[in-house]
Structure 1
Amino acid sequence: MRFVKQLLAVVAIAAVGGQAVNAVSGNPWLTLVLGIVAAVLAVLVYRWVVGRTERREVTELARAGAAARLTRGVLIGFAMFAAVIVNIALMDGYHVKGLGSVSGAVGLLGFMAAAAVTEELLFRGVLFRIVEERTGTWIALLLTGLVFGAMHLANPDATLWGATAIAIEAGFMLAACYAATRNLWVPIGLHFGWNFAAGGIFSVVVSGNGDSKGLLEATMSGPAVLTGGDFGPEGSLYTLGAGVLLTVVFLVLARRRGHIVPRRGRAARETSTAMVSQ
């Protein structure tokens, strides 16, 4: 029942916040404000429902060190996307025409903040964390990554390849990031940094969701294997390679820190709970 209660609470906030943000999408400043409000409310609701149903301190969203961890994640996500887009540009697949829209970037800031927070709370905070208690890190990473990728099949211009790429380069990577850090701030920052860099800075399609109007006015051209086609750079082999590389790095860190839950059953659940409470 704790799983159901946590899942429903986060989904409810995500749905209401998403509707509110979409309703004011034509106004970038209202989108920014409502996006941030939705993100903050999601964190508060997660803290409340997890603390109430598990009767513990919600250390994965601890206030101490939150800003530093969030910033670290944002920098990793931004650097990852910048590396991908530079490689695509070197292959003549990305072209900057000039400056884009500051107001468009402002609106995307709020939209991406709400999306990153609610998705990480749902997929890594609820799904991965609880599934890991029952099955161990490896199976939880595989299952929740596949679910995360499948969710993107509902996006515009989605393909089976695009969803598979998202599962590998994002679903697996973000779960591995949580396993390595045992907090949600770093994966939230990473998710946000990637999405905002893509849409708010470099103005490319994000997971099939149309042409973004960010700080740069740019176009993409070339084979889909390079650019990701209509689905955006997340369907590019460059992104897949970057995501796999970071996944490996995070999993190595998780193993070195003793954060891997290797087996299922009561012992695994006790190990996972102990690591989250550290």
Structure 2
Amino acid sequence: MVAGIAIYGMALIVLIVSGETTVRFSADTGEARPVWMLWIPAGVGLVIAALIPPRTAASDRFADAEPRILTRDTWLLVAAAVAFAVGFHLARGDDLWFLILKGVLLLAFPLLVCHVGWAEWARLDVRGRWLRPAIAIAAFLLASIAMDPGWSGNPPDVVTVLAVFLINAVLEEIFYRFWLQTRLESRYGRWPAILLTSLLWAAWHSAIHGGNGLLVDSAAAILNIGVTGLFLGYLWSRHRNPWLLIAAHGFMNAPPAMLAAMA
């Protein structure tokens, strides 16, 4: 946990020293914002989530798992996340390689090598786990809309939006939060798991949100995508409602300004 916090601190120092405190916030547009503005939605969501306790405590699905197997699966998933980030950087953000690497490392590899299931979280009992996390997500979304200056990129078509939703929102939440973070939590505790997962999730985004060199781009991704990952990870840890996380992630990929530009 200390190492994770230190990495966030070092990322902030890198941006301050480099003078690159205004960063790209999306791969779909070249616009940039001050990095502190990008923290507001996640910060608001985190505060609301912390103030509203879950109706019932989230259970540890792997409490009775064999420790050796759980540890093996956990670090194999971590290795897959690292390989995806490194491979995507080596591919220089190429779209085809993005699909190949994501399909192989974040889906096929876990299903074939680790003890995971495609729908293991779809079967979760989410009764009583809707309203309270939905309030935190609503606060996050409203803050995101309030900070949204509009959309200047080329509006995508409906097929593209749906494909992005499945490939990014659904698959990424399944891999990073449902599969990886939950196992890290069971093995090492809530905040170490949230911090590591958020950093791994942010790592690959620096290949598409940057343009200022690997160090600065990585720092910008950590302080943008990583901070959002802290919110999503905390919400998952507290409430275990996969559908709300997928919906929130989908909103981030297709904000109202983008959808309005499509109309």
Q: Shorter-chain TM-score: what band?
A: 0.3 to 0.5
Structure showing greater relative contact order (alpha-carbon pairs closer than 8 Å, 6 or more residues apart): 2
Structure 2 length-normalised TM = 0.47
Structure 1 length-normalised TM = 0.45
User: More helix per residue: 1 or 2?
Assistant: 1
